[in-house]
Structure 1
Amino acid sequence: MFDLIIILLHQAPEFPDFTAKVLQAVNSLGGRVFPKLNWSAPKDANWIALNSSLQCQTLSEIFLLFKSSDFITHDLTQPFLHCNDQDSPDPVIRYELVLRKWTISQRDYTQYYPHILKQEESIIHAIQDFFSQHIQYRFLDDDFVLDVYRDSQGRVWLIDLNPFGKVTDSLLFTWEELTSGGEIIQPQDRPAFRYTTSDVTVQPSPCLSYRIPRDFVDLSTGEDAYKLVDFLKLQKKQQEDDEDETTQQS
């Protein structure tokens, strides 16, 4: 208990210029953002957020997600762990905080959506056309993973580019299939396209294994009390905001 008190008495560092820039960016994006680093988003840490979501409005909420995420920790401590050229020295990384405007889109492959079957051909053609017009031969690496979003009007939007490797989710494929260890049955003259074809399939969330965690181990042993402090501060702020809103309404 004494060690825990000593940790809590340390003053957390402050970054006023950085904080101001982040808040300015958040406001310019509508007040709600989705945060990530160069590669990963803290999607395994939404369990600790007050709204059980990766939606953030303040820098404190972003920090809480980042400090509670194994994916972010991997990016910061061993981002090249699964690279083939491990004998080469690691390049110097300039880490960047990436903020995206908060929107809702479907990337949940555990659910069944009947409209995908009806629109299968148009989806494939739209993505192929987008790739050939905007991506092909314009990316430095020959092997990469492309995340796109197709809206209700059939337009395709680029969401992200990721490494081709096990650090990137393979969704309905397996990495054994995507590499030399497996075989993908692919129709002629078009890419393989997979989606959930039945609504009887029940699958756990792919991030379910991250929900308990290391963070509670840190808290119970006093190794990272700042996570608890940050969480309590956010909870107190939310209560104060709720009280202010109730007072204004009355």
Structure 2
Amino acid sequence: MTITKGQCSAIRSCSMKKEQVQHCQFSVWYPIFKQHTIKSVILPLPPDVIDYFLDDGTLVVPGSHHAAQQTHINSDLDEEEDIQAPEFPEFTAQVLEAINALGGLVFPKLNWSAPRDANWIALNSSLQCRSLSEIFLLFKSSDFITRDLTQPFLHCSDQDSPDPNISYELVLRKWSELIPGGEFRCFVKENKLIAISQRDYTQYYPHILKQEESILHAILDFFNQRIQHAFLDEDFVLDVYRDSQEGRVWLIDLNPFGEVTDSLLFSWEELRCGGGVGQQQEGPDFRYTTSEVTVQPSPCLSYRIPRDFADLSTGEDAYKLMDFLKLKKSQEEESSDEDVDAAH
């Protein structure tokens, strides 16, 4: 697509601002749309927990009796030392209380992001968590979480302005079994729904092709009745879930209108400039994977081998692999112990 000089000016004028990113924090939009989304609990993150997430040391994880103490070989290779897992008793109690209140299984995230790039490290290969140690393991392994903590205003056009103060929070959402083929990303510009993309665009879901019209109408009705003009900004992106049996639509997440958010089957040039999106029709432009031929690799595949472990090929930092393997063993032992307790 060729972008004209005028369109380039439109891109600059519509660039994402820090205030818009700030408005897309979970604790800002959740009270507004609480009735239309999944039940959640928001807990302030203590400074020492934030420091622990950002510590690029071992993968020792608190909150597990198996991980209370782990052996780590020091850099001199001539002796062993015990690494004591950090403990956060007050915060631990708050998290466990919240998990129990939400039914025992939760989906964790920070102010903006969930650790989707780290599900490779979980025993069940999902973001389903039932303990603090599982949450911490995901967060310590996620580049998305690190980005939230260190570069939340990346790609904002007003870099010369001071960063807004951020109070970091752990968000625990009641676990819900969502079918990936029911998730859609919606792009809103000037309070108008201009584009909808299949969320998991790497897969082909036949029901989307068969139900295209009903899906489009359900999402558009939901937006018009529940979302439009209710948010703090005119430009934003929302993720929704449509139950294919009941036809009901739920709000899943809300994101900034800019490069920090994946544009999926669109490009940000199209979305910002018009570029044909929503211009040739009355309703939003709806795009989805139409056949097996167009199936693509998942963008999260690049995160399956952490950068720390890539150092193994050069002989660097091999001890992180040892810590990781010990931690996986501890997880398996925990799971086995719980199965035995349940049997009795």
Fold equivalence (TM over 0.5)? yes
Matched, 1:163 2:163: no
How far residue 68 of structure 1 moved from its aligned partner, in angstroms, is 0.8
The residue identity in structure 2 corresponding to 1:215 is D
Q: Check the 8 A contact 1:68/1:215 in 2, yes or no.
A: no
> What residue is the counterpart of 1:121 in the other structure?
213
Q: Distance in 1 between matches of 2:80 and 2:173?
A: 34
How far residue 4 of structure 1 moved from its aligned partner, in angstroms, is 7.6
The residue identity in structure 2 corresponding to 1:210 is Y
Q: Distance in 1 between matches of 2:175 and 2:331?
A: 21
Bigger drift between 113-122 and 89-98 goes to 113-122
> What residue is the counterpart of 2:288 in the other structure?
195
Matched, 1:54 2:148: no
> What residue is the counterpart of 1:238 in the other structure?
332
Q: 1:243 to 1:160 in 2, by over 3 A?
A: closer
The residue matched to 2:293 in structure 1 has which SS? Answer: coil
Bigger drift between 63-72 and 111-120 goes to 111-120
Instruction: State the percentage of identical aligned residues.
Output: 68
The residue matched to 2:251 in structure 1 has which SS? Answer: strand
Q: Check the 8 A contact 2:289/2:295 in 1, yes or no.
A: no
Q: Check the 8 A contact 2:201/2:295 in 1, yes or no.
A: no
The residue identity in structure 2 corresponding to 1:76 is L
How far residue 182 of structure 1 moved from its aligned partner, in angstroms, is 4.3
> What residue is the counterpart of 1:37 in the other structure?
110
How far residue 101 of structure 1 moved from its aligned partner, in angstroms, is 1.6
Matched, 1:93 2:166: yes
How far residue 181 of structure 1 moved from its aligned partner, in angstroms, is 8.5
The residue identity in structure 2 corresponding to 1:232 is K
Matched, 1:131 2:223: yes
Q: Check the 8 A contact 1:146/1:162 in 2, yes or no.
A: yes
The residue matched to 1:179 in structure 2 has which SS? Answer: helix
Q: Distance in 1 between matches of 2:230 and 2:338?
A: 52
Q: How does 1:135-150 map to 2 (within 5 A)?
A: 135-150=227-242
Computed over aligned residues only, the root mean square deviation of the Cα atoms, in angstroms, reads: 2.8
Q: Check the 8 A contact 2:202/2:295 in 1, yes or no.
A: yes
How far residue 231 of structure 1 moved from its aligned partner, in angstroms, is 5.8
The residue matched to 1:30 in structure 2 has which SS? Answer: coil
Q: Check the 8 A contact 2:308/2:317 in 1, yes or no.
A: no
Q: Distance in 2 between matches of 1:96 and 1:160?
A: 16
Kindly provide the CA deviation profile for residues 96-147 of structure 1, in whole angstroms up to 9, marking residues without a partner as x. Answer: 1111122222142222222222322222221112112111111111110011
Q: How does 1:10-29 map to 2 (within 5 A)?
A: 10-29=83-102
Kindly provide the CA deviation profile for residues 72-92 of structure 1, in whole angstroms up to 9, marking residues without a partner as x. Answer: 111101111211110011111
The residue matched to 2:247 in structure 1 has which SS? Answer: coil
Q: Distance in 2 between matches of 1:247 and 1:33?
A: 22
Q: Distance in 1 between matches of 2:138 and 2:334?
A: 21
Q: Distance in 1 between matches of 2:87 and 2:317?
A: 22
Q: Check the 8 A contact 1:45/1:68 in 2, yes or no.
A: yes
Q: 1:11 to 1:180 in 2, by over 3 A?
A: same
Structure 2: gaps of 5 or more residues: 1-72, 184-199
The residue matched to 1:100 in structure 2 has which SS? Answer: strand
The residue identity in structure 1 corresponding to 2:227 is I
Q: Distance in 2 between matches of 1:186 and 1:153?
A: 31
> What residue is the counterpart of 1:210 in the other structure?
303
Q: 1:63 to 1:102 in 2, by over 3 A?
A: same
Q: Distance in 2 between matches of 1:248 and 1:103?
A: 23
The residue matched to 1:173 in structure 2 has which SS? Answer: coil
Q: Check the 8 A contact 1:147/1:159 in 2, yes or no.
A: yes
Q: Check the 8 A contact 1:23/1:58 in 2, yes or no.
A: yes
Kindly provide the CA deviation profile for residues 146-204 of structure 1, in whole angstroms up to 9, marking residues without a partner as x. Answer: 11111121111111110011111212112232123944365421110011111222311
How far residue 26 of structure 1 moved from its aligned partner, in angstroms, is 1.2
The residue matched to 1:116 in structure 2 has which SS? Answer: helix
Q: Distance in 2 between matches of 1:150 and 1:246?
A: 38
Is the strand fraction higher in 1 or 2?
2
Structure 1: gaps of 5 or more residues: none
